Chains A and B, each alone.
Chain A
Amino acid sequence: MKEASAGTLESGDILVRIAPAEKPGLDVHLESSVAYQFGEQIKQVITETLNGLGINDAVVDATDKGALDCTIRARVTAAAVRATGKDVWAD
């Protein structure tokens, strides 16, 4: 795995950066304009998406500007594909 990112800082989007972990497990850092109400939910979506892709050890830095869950999954997936070089969309 190498460092990679996906997304933007536009309103309604999320910028996700993924880097190799120095210790086991997912280390998710989140800054969000809706952190009060949705912080835990967003972290959960990020974790579930990465686990679903088989990524269990990584450092994730996410800057959220009010993205919906579908957007978060898409950005996390794109960042993961770029970080691992493993194209999950390929048949």
Chain B
Amino acid sequence: MNTLEERKALIEATAQRMGKEIHTESPAKATEPRTALQHESPKLVSLEEAIRRTGLRDGMTISFHHHFRGGDKVINMVVAKLAEMGFKDLHLASSSLIDVHEPLIEHIKNGVITRISTSGLRGELAKAISSGIMQEPVVFRSHGTRGAAIANGDIHIDVAFIGASSADPMGNSCGYSRSENAKSICGSLGYALPDAQHADKVVILTDDLVPYPNHPASISENLVDYVVEVESVGDSSKIASGAIRDTKNPRDILLAQQAARVIINSGYFRDGFSIQTGSGGASLAAVKFIREEMLHQGIKASFALGGITAHMVKMHEEGLIGRLVDVQSFDKVAAESLKNDPMHQEVSANEYASADEAGSATHLLDIVILSALEVDVNFNVNVLVGSDGVIRGAIGGHPDTAADSALSIIVCPLLRGRIPCVVDEVTTLITPGSSVDVVVTEYGIAVNPRRPELAERLEAAGLKVVDIHALAQRARRVIGNPAPLPFGDKVVGVVLDRQGRVQDVIKSIG
């Protein structure tokens, strides 16, 4: 015989040998209907309770995402609560910060926030930081570098606060909602995914608490510690203008035409190519011209990457672009597409642009069109600090895509008003010239001398290829010689490169 009773001694001996306990019968199982449980969870608490339970202490690092851009409500709400609860000396690590985060100035002055890591700064907050209100310089990283830093521990996040447009009580969360009570939509949560994966504690804030299961979910419940229901996580109308808006600015259209001609004649415009573009007027208009040529030549793209726009969605739906790889949805059309189309895939900042991941999408990118505040005669680009020395932009994925792509194209006018965009030396070094291939201006196209074969192809196609020094001289002839800026000695910002090394510093001003 070989009964359970007879095996008892053997079970005990085996358990002892394995150092494990012996199974005992469980108490009676719960029999009530489970539908009620879909609406509740021990994770579901108030914001204050969530903060308390995370064990957050003074000096720790908190993180946020900026997918709602100008409509974000989470950062101001959470930091105000932290201030009210008496926290001090916190390190705020956001994927970026914008005009709407002006209230942080008070929290900096009151010592609630003493360190900041971000991709960018804008508006009054940027001005205040440029003027030197912080003791510690702000640390700037690209989106890919931030993702890598979170994964490799350069940024250790103690508590991540993640705004989500839907979540169930267990924490399954998305940047959109499938319920009829949906209040907001931001689409991709790509920049928040490294935070969700690596933070010690993860708090989801949502303005649409839905019953379990909120699947398919961007962030799985197994990464989430607390879920907080709030009135609003963000105003989706401020992510971008909802509809496709074609630029009527003739200079933008000229720049777009030139950029499109560069792409078409670059040697990289072939079936199966991949592309990333920005959301600027010239960039969007360029996509229009590229689309026409794709139709004309019967060429299709395998994927479009990055900030996905309504234009890209349209081309995908027409069958011109196979997949959309989306770290950030630039408008509502893109956000809705991410929700509804399985070929429109959300990716994390690491999968998008980490230098540490061979499989990150930027490594597989043929062509990127980028903008610039300034380009210098060595092809270095600045997208962070204005020509007046005040911080006013964001690194974004600029250095990541420029470095990893086969062809990086900077599109910028020679002058913006009286501000020159082609200069002798950029105010702040963000994207090194070694990764920048072509600069398109309305006065000609400059090709990096490292890429003579590109210059040949473009010249052969009848494009006006000029020396970048000639562009800088031309700008100077029109505007005269700018007086030197009144920089102070204090370092208010540090720019890290893609390997996490110090690449440049930003001095105080004004």
For A39, list chain B residues within 8 Å (CB).
483
CB of B482 within 8 A of CB of A68, answer no
CB of B389 within 8 A of CB of A34, answer no
Within 8 Å of chain B (Cβ to Cβ): is A67? Answer: yes
Question: A-side interface residues toward B, CB under 8 Å?
Answer: 11-12, 33-34, 36-41, 65-69
Within 8 A of A (CB), among B115-173: none
Of B415, B480, B486, the residue contacting A38 (CB under 8 A) is: B480
One of B87-95, B175-183, B416-424 contacting the partner: B416-424
Instruction: Name the residue of chain A whose CB is nearest to the CB of B481.
Output: A41
CB of B418 within 8 A of CB of A66, answer yes
CB of A37 within 8 A of CB of B417, answer no
A36 to B483, alpha carbons, bound, how many Å?
Answer: 7
Residue contacts A-B, CB under 8 angstroms, 18 given: A11-B416, A11-B417, A33-B417, A36-B388, A36-B389, A36-B483, A36-B485, A37-B388, A37-B418, A37-B483, A38-B482, A38-B483, A40-B483, A41-B480, A66-B416, A66-B419, A67-B418, A68-B417
CB distance from A37 to the nearest CB of B (A): 4
CB of B485 within 8 A of CB of A69, answer no
For B387, list chain A residues within 8 Å (CB).
34, 37
For B483, list chain A residues within 8 Å (CB).
36-41
Instruction: Name the residue of chain A whose CB is nearest to the CB of B478.
Output: A68
CB of A34 within 8 A of CB of B417, answer yes
Q: A34-B419, A65-B417 are in contact. List 11 more A-B contacts (CB 8 A).
A: A11-B416, A34-B418, A36-B483, A36-B485, A37-B388, A37-B485, A38-B418, A38-B482, A66-B419, A67-B418, A68-B415
CB of A37 within 8 A of CB of B478, answer no
A-B contact count (CB 8 A): 44
A69 to B479, alpha carbons, bound, how many Å?
Answer: 7
For A36, list chain B residues within 8 Å (CB).
388-389, 483, 485-486
Q: Which of A39, A40, A41, A65 has the most CB of B within 10 A?
A: A41
A33 to B417, alpha carbons, bound, how many Å?
Answer: 10
A41 to B480, alpha carbons, bound, how many Å?
Answer: 8
Instruction: Name the residue of chain B whose CB is nearest to the CB of A42.
Output: B418
For B388, list chain A residues within 8 Å (CB).
34, 36-37
Instruction: Name the residue of chain B whose CB is nearest to the CB of A72.
Output: B418
Instruction: Name the residue of chain A whose CB is nearest to the CB of B387.
Output: A37
CB distance from A75 to the nearest CB of B (A): 14
For B482, list chain A residues within 8 Å (CB).
37-38
Q: Mark B456-486, 1 if CB is under 8 A from A, else 0.
A: 0000000000000000000000111111011
A33 to B387, alpha carbons, bound, how many Å?
Answer: 11
For B416, list chain A residues within 8 Å (CB).
11, 66
Q: Which of A34, A39, A67 has the most CB of B within 10 A?
A: A34
For A38, list chain B residues within 8 Å (CB).
418, 479-480, 482-483
For B485, list chain A residues within 8 Å (CB).
36-37
A36 to B418, alpha carbons, bound, how many Å?
Answer: 12
CB distance from A34 to the nearest CB of B (A): 5
Of A40, A65, A68, the residue contacting B479 (CB under 8 A) is: A68
CB of A68 within 8 A of CB of B418, answer yes
A40 to B482, alpha carbons, bound, how many Å?
Answer: 10
Closest 7 pairs (CB-CB, A-B) = A66-B417, A37-B482, A66-B418, A12-B417, A34-B418, A36-B388, A41-B480
A39 to B388, alpha carbons, bound, how many Å?
Answer: 12
A65 to B480, alpha carbons, bound, how many Å?
Answer: 16
A74 to B388, alpha carbons, bound, how many Å?
Answer: 25
For B415, list chain A residues within 8 Å (CB).
68
A38 to B479, alpha carbons, bound, how many Å?
Answer: 9
Instruction: Name the residue of chain A whose CB is nearest to the CB of B415.
Output: A68
CB distance from B385 to the nearest CB of A (A): 13
Instruction: Name the residue of chain A whose CB is nearest to the CB of B485.
Output: A36
CB distance from A66 to the nearest CB of B (A): 2
A79 to B115, alpha carbons, bound, how many Å?
Answer: 50
CB of A69 within 8 A of CB of B480, answer yes
For B417, list chain A residues within 8 Å (CB).
11-12, 33-34, 65-68
A34 to B416, alpha carbons, bound, how many Å?
Answer: 11
For A11, list chain B residues within 8 Å (CB).
416-417
CB distance from B428 to the nearest CB of A (A): 16
CB distance from A49 to the nearest CB of B (A): 15
For B481, list chain A residues within 8 Å (CB).
41
For A69, list chain B residues within 8 Å (CB).
480
Instruction: Name the residue of chain A whose CB is nearest to the CB of B480.
Output: A41
Instruction: Name the residue of chain A whose CB is nearest to the CB of B486.
Output: A36
For B479, list chain A residues within 8 Å (CB).
38, 68
CB distance from B248 to the nearest CB of A (A): 15
A38 to B420, alpha carbons, bound, how many Å?
Answer: 12
A69 to B486, alpha carbons, bound, how many Å?
Answer: 23
Q: Mark B389-420, 1 if CB is under 8 A from A, else 0.
A: 10000000000000000000000000111110
Q: Which of A12, A36, A38, A39 has the most CB of B within 10 A?
A: A36
A69 to B417, alpha carbons, bound, how many Å?
Answer: 11
For A65, list chain B residues within 8 Å (CB).
417
CB distance from B16 to the nearest CB of A (A): 80
Q: Which of B388, B389, B417, B486 has the most CB of A within 10 A?
A: B417
For B389, list chain A residues within 8 Å (CB).
36
A36 to B388, alpha carbons, bound, how many Å?
Answer: 7
Q: Mark B327-357, 1 if CB is under 8 A from A, else 0.
A: 0000000000000000000000000000000
CB distance from B416 to the nearest CB of A (A): 7
